Amino acid sequence: MRIVRRIGDLELDDVVGLVPTMGALHAGHEALIAAARTECETVVVSVFVNPAQFDQGVDLAAYPRDEERDLRIAEAAGADVLFAPAQEEMYPPGFQTWVEVEELSRGLEGSHRPGHFRGVATVCLKLFNIVRPRYAYFGQKDAQQVAVVRRLVRDLDLDVEIRSVPTVRDADGLALSSRNGRLSAAERELALALPRALATRDLAAARAALAGLDVDYVEIADFDPPVLAAAVRVGGTRLIDNVVLEEEQ
């Protein structure tokens, strides 16, 4: 597998699949890479902890980073190229151009993380321009992100197809997340209320099941497909999850 750090060094011209990540790879990311592997000649995994999508400096600073481990996981999962640019490569001095997907960025995550989707949309547009993928793979776990990126592609006539991959969960039901490692055993036990609540696929039942927790939101979101989505805080860790309402994942 090739590691590329400079934008000009990518030079890919076959059917490229892009899996954008922030590193700290786990089986959820592996599922995205495996999906890309089935239909693309070249699979590019980008690893970039995008400062623009963090509204809190502490969260950005605490984000786990281990490039050697990411490299091993990406390679074993079938990636051909790891694109790991430095921050200055993506945001050179003087950077000032942003893309905003207005309505879809409000509500849910957008209400609790100001500027988050502006950062996501901008970095995705940049990655699409840099890598020129035919397909780009995103996790259904971040359902609002999928909706925002699909809208971005449609509104700006981008030549890329967005694929959404079902959420990968641990055996106890908790959706895999790079943030799960911050949970103590007791916190993890509390966090299990989140997938259990969503598994009811019923708004009132989910609200009731999460009543004892620090809940940012529990809502039905009218995405395509619609989802029951929630975000909770357990200790210092913020967790999000959702279930598709109209079809089994």
In the complex, which residues of this chain contact ligand AMP (CB under 6 A)?
21-22, 28-29, 31-32, 138-139, 141-142, 165, 167-168, 175-178
Q: How far is the CB of 222 from ligand AMP (least distance, A)?
A: 19
Sign, Cα dihedral of 117, 118, 121, 126? negative
Q: How far is the CB of 49 from ligand AMP (least distance, A)?
A: 9
Whichever of 207 and 225 has its CB closer to ligand AMP, that residue is: 225
Output the six-digit token pair for 91.
Answer: 């945001």
CA 26 to chain centre: 12
At residue 41, what is the residue type? E
Q: How far is the CB of 93 from ligand AMP (least distance, A)?
A: 25
The partner residues of 228 in beta bridges, in order of sequence, read 220, 243
Whichever of 166 and 235 has its CB closer to ligand AMP, that residue is: 166
Output the six-digit token pair for 98.
Answer: 């942003």
Q: How far is the CB of 149 from ligand AMP (least distance, A)?
A: 9
CA end-to-end span of the chain, whole Å? 31
Q: How far is the CB of 136 from ligand AMP (least distance, A)?
A: 9
| DSSP state for residue 96 in the 8-state scheme | -
CA distance 191 to 188: 5
CA distance 179 to 124: 21
**DSSP character string of 37-79:** HHH-SEEEEEE---GGG-S-HHHHHHS---HHHHHHHHHHHT-
Catalytic residue among 26, 29, 112, 116: 29
* Active-site residue flag, 29: yes
3-state helix vs strand vs coil in the chain, percent to 5: 40, 20, 40
Tell me which residue has tokens 């913020």: 238
Whichever of 66 and 211 has its CB closer to ligand AMP, that residue is: 66
Whichever of 18 and 218 has its CB closer to ligand AMP, that residue is: 18
Whichever of 187 and 207 has its CB closer to ligand AMP, that residue is: 187
> Which residues are designated catalytic?
29
